[in-house]
Amino acid sequence: MTEFRTTYIHDRDQWPHLTWDSAVLAPQLAKIHFARGELMGQLSLMGFSTQENSMLDTLVQDVTRSSRIEGEVLDDAQVRSSVARRLGLPIAGLPEPARHVEGVVAMTLDATQQYQAPLDAERLYRWHHALFPHGVDDNLQPLQTGRWRETEMEVVNNNMSRRTVHFEAPSPARVQQEMETFLQWFNSEQDLDPVIKAGLAHIHFLTIHPFEDGNGRIARALTDLLLARADGRRERYYSLSRQIEQRRAEYYRVLEATQRSRTTDVTNWLGFYLDCLTAALTDALASLSRARARHLYFSRFADVPLEERAQRVLTRMFEPFEGKLNNKKYRSMTGVSDDTVTRDMKELVDAGMLIQVGRTKGTYYLLNLSGIPSAGLELYADTLYWFGETASSSRPEQS
């Protein structure tokens, strides 16, 4: 009896010539190009130190989230230490990074900082070896590093009752030729939107699955490389991996559906990728808006003597913040007594740094951002921030 074998996108006669519906993707693509331009405009208004800190935060997120997609949790402080040292930024108080952390960071920075360099097999081998410096995979099994795989490759899910095969990669005999074709396409100029090319490279590389392990992390590094080429700059201010990690289950579902397709149409995959990229750019714009507002806010009140605990709470309010700032939340964030909370809040209100809303048990406080650009922060008006009086709003009632 002949055993039935599921076929995959790489078995199609048209492979590796991928197709997509440009009309379906056009609205998403237009939104992304607008957001990229807006992001570059925002960056031009930022000071050098703000840009450096934003880039550091982005790269740390990219490294940690890309690994987390594969189930590996890296220590944030170690990643920050490695990235900061390689970028020449201060590392005081940060721990010494482990060797495997250094490897992931080295790969990520080589992809983004050297985005103009051609991609070849040797460069990919170095990345792979950097991911697995001890010669074992994430499950501590022996691993061939720095060369194409020589074994069959399946993406499987094992549980107590059944073994599910989600994808079978091309046979090892095909890998060399598949990668030569991929690298030639990757390095050549095409009449192709560079943002689309980055998404195509992701699915193309993952379908070949040329290594025994680490293919997902390398695919995301290749996507970041091509996005850096599209932006024409080494500095990274948005993290695609962070968005993919937040939608991890959907990421794998879309990949599986695309790789099992009876055609080489990858419109659905590109739609998911563009959605994630849009969210990454939106988050980056909001983060830069918060960073700029934070800088202007503390510059305005530079002469106000602040307790370290108050500085910490006020700074935290420029990050994603749940709820409103009231006495109870301030106490939980600082661990001080009720009397100290009352005194701190009065001093901050008297200094003009906070606006008090209400007089009773429901009293809460807004950061006084009057006169500071509010673009990207409007969502938090009346819950975290006060932007000053307008035709439709008045100063909150104070005690």
Instruction: Tell me: is residue 218 an annotated ligand-binding position.
Output: yes
Look up residue 18 and give its two tokens.
């991928």
Q: For the chain, give the longest Cα–Cα distance.
A: 85
* Count of Cβ atoms closer than 10 Å to residue 300 Cβ: 16
Q: What is the DSSP string of 21-58?
A: -HHHHHHHHHHHHHHHHHHHHHHHTS-HHHHHHHHHHH
* Cis before 90 (ω within 30): no
Phi, psi angles (nearest 5°) of residue 330: -60, -40
Instruction: Tell me: is residue 251 an annotated ligand-binding position.
Output: yes
Per DSSP (E only), the strands in the chain are 154-158, 163-168, 354-357, 364-368, 385-386
Q: How many Å apart are CA 217 and CA 391, to the nearest integer?
A: 51
Instruction: Tell me: is residue 36 an annotated ligand-binding position.
Output: no
Distances (CA, A) of 75 to 67, 81, 94, 112, 214: 11, 10, 11, 21, 18
Instruction: Tell me: is residue 88 an annotated ligand-binding position.
Output: no
Instruction: Tell me: is residue 219 an annotated ligand-binding position.
Output: yes
Which residues participate in catalysis according to the annotation? Answer: 209
Instruction: Tell me: is residue 217 an annotated ligand-binding position.
Output: yes
Q: How many Å apart are CA 140 and CA 118, to the nearest integer?
A: 32
Distances (CA, A) of 377 to 36, 206, 356, 380, 385: 18, 38, 19, 6, 8
Instruction: Tell me: is residue 216 an annotated ligand-binding position.
Output: yes
Instruction: Tell me: is residue 252 an annotated ligand-binding position.
Output: yes
Q: How many Å apart are CA 368 and CA 142, to the nearest integer?
A: 58
Q: What is the DSSP string of 113-143?
A: HTTTSPP-HHHHHHHHHHH-TTSB-TTS-B-
Beta-bridged to residue 354, according to DSSP, are 367
User: Residues forming the annotated binding site?
Assistant: 213-220, 251-252
User: Residues forming the annotated binding site for ATP?
Assistant: 213-220, 251-252
